[in-house]
Amino acid sequence: MDSDDELASRLRGGDERALRAAYDRHGAAVFYLAQRLLGNRADAEDVTQLTFVAAWTGRDGYDPQRGTMLGWLLGIARRKAVDRMRSAARDDRVTETVRAHLVPPDGRETPERVVDRLVVADEMGRLPEEQRRTLELAFFDDLTHHQIAAVTGLPLGTVKSHIRRGMANLRRRWEVDGAPSGSRSVGPTRAL
């Protein structure tokens, strides 16, 4: 699997296959975000298409030093989804602002939250297998360190270090690539 760096340089060189590789890797996440934001499949398909076309035309603007390709693509997708909501609002002569669309009144998730989930999920997928599995047991099954050690047969110390490192990796990625949020301060992080 090519790194983001390799993919980015192929993309900048005008290699259409690099766009296809990015689409194969991240198309599902972009599509998921668009569906969550727009709530209908046809618009989500359009926004997915617009996102990758914009990624192609704006490929010189992607800098792997500043974030992952997924983070970049999700940023484009959010903007395209917002554009789509604006034009829908215009079409419908709806007086609500786009902001009202973006902050669901019934307490549903915000776009920021969906982006956060997607980047953290992507990072989960990049963790070493045992680290990922250990974290899943902690997240999804709500198991304690001791229970995880019992289930997996790993020594308690190993479970602890998997979870500590895994959490640190997810946190780092989230702080780099997560949706910008006013309330979140990216302060100095102690080494974990």
Partner 1 sequence: MHHLDPDRLVLLALSDEPGLDESDHLDGCAACRHDLAALRDVAGIGAELQDLRDLPAPPEHVWSAIESEIAGPARRRRPRRLVPAMAAAVAAVVAVAGAVAFFRAPAEQVVARATLTPLATVPAGAGGSVRVLADGQMRIEVRNLPLTTGFHEVWLIDPDDLTRMVALGNLGDRPDEVLPVPAGVDMNRYSLVDVSDEPHDGDATHSGRSLLRGTLTS
Q: Which residues bind partner 1 (CB under 8 A)?
A: 16, 19-20, 23-24, 27-32, 44-46, 48-49, 52-53, 56-57, 113, 116-118, 120-121, 124, 135, 138-140, 142, 144-145, 160, 163-164, 167, 170-171, 174-175, 184-185, 187-190, 192
Secondary-structure breakdown of the chain: helix, strand, coil percentages, each rounded to the nearest 5: 70, 0, 30
- 83-93 burial: b if 16+ Cβ within 10 Å, else e: ebbeeebeeee
- How many other β-carbons are positioned within 10 Å of the β-carbon of residue 162? 24
Measured from the CB atom, the residue of 54 and 98 that comes closer to partner 1 is: 54
Count of CA atoms in the C-beta half-sphere (13 A) of 115: 24
DSSP assignment string, 43-92: HHHHHHHHHHHHHHHTGGG--TTTS-HHHHHHHHHHHHHHHHHHHHHHHT
How many angstroms separate the CA atoms of 189 and 53, rounded? 37
Closest approach of partner 1 to the CB of residue 69, in Å: 16
Residue type, 130: E
Closest approach of partner 1 to the CB of residue 48, in Å: 5
Closest approach of partner 1 to the CB of residue 135, in Å: 7
Measured from the CB atom, the residue of 126 and 164 that comes closer to partner 1 is: 164
Measured from the CB atom, the residue of 27 and 75 that comes closer to partner 1 is: 27
Measured from the CB atom, the residue of 98 and 154 that comes closer to partner 1 is: 154
Closest approach of partner 1 to the CB of residue 174, in Å: 6
Closest approach of partner 1 to the CB of residue 148, in Å: 11
Measured from the CB atom, the residue of 100 and 192 that comes closer to partner 1 is: 192
